[in-house]
């Protein structure tokens, strides 16, 4: 009677174990494929960004080459020497215009506005308050 009671049925049968191992293996394979696809997408994004950066830098290189060609010309060198460096050719005279700045005069203060209260009489204020008409004689 003890042997019957202690003898237990296995938790999973052989086909169930095989199916469970297959599901676990399929899960690992799916996760690995997902990881590889994600890294492939990131490589594509980085490649597009790098191509854009290379395009911008090649444009910048062309601009710098054009600038280099321009500054190596005789016309540019002469223009720089005359206008910015202050050089003159033999036999020429330098003319430097002098600007005389006059100190501006301060603006006069505006004349003060007349204060009507100085010439007003008390009865005129009462007249305005009581009647709201102009003062007699105006």
pLDDT of residue 84: 84
Per residue in 21-56, pLDDT (tens digit) is 999 999 999 999 999 888 887 777 778 888 999 999
How much is the pLDDT for 44?
Answer: 75
Residue 3 has a pLDDT of 56
Residue that is written with structure tokens 């980085």 in the block = 46
Q: Average pLDDT, stretch 49-71?
A: 93
Q: Show the tokens assigned to 96.
A: 């430097």
- What is the average pLDDT value for the chain, to the nearest integer? 84
- Is the Cα dihedral 77, 79, 81, 84 positive or negative? negative
C-alpha closest to that of 117 among 133, 128, 104: 128
Please give the angle made by the CA atoms of 32, 36 and 39, to the nearest 5 degrees: 140
Range 61-65 average pLDDT: 95
């Amino acid at each position: 009677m003890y042997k019957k009671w202690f003898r237990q049925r296995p938790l999973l049968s052989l086909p169930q174990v095989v199916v469970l191992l297959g599901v676990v293996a399929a899960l690992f394979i799916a996760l690995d494929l997902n990881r590889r696809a994600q890294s492939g997408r990131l490589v594509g994004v980085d490649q597009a960004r790098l191509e854009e950066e290379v395009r911008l830098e090649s444009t910048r290189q062309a601009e710098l080459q054009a600038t280099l060609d321009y500054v190596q010309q005789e016309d540019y060198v002469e223009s720089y020497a005359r206008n910015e460096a202050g050089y003159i050719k033999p036999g020429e005279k330098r003319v430097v215009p002098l600007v005389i700045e006059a100190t501006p005069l301060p603006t006069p203060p505006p004349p003060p506005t007349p204060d009507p209260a100085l010439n007003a009489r008390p009865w005129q204020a009462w007249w305005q308050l009581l009647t709201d008409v102009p003062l007699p004689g105006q």
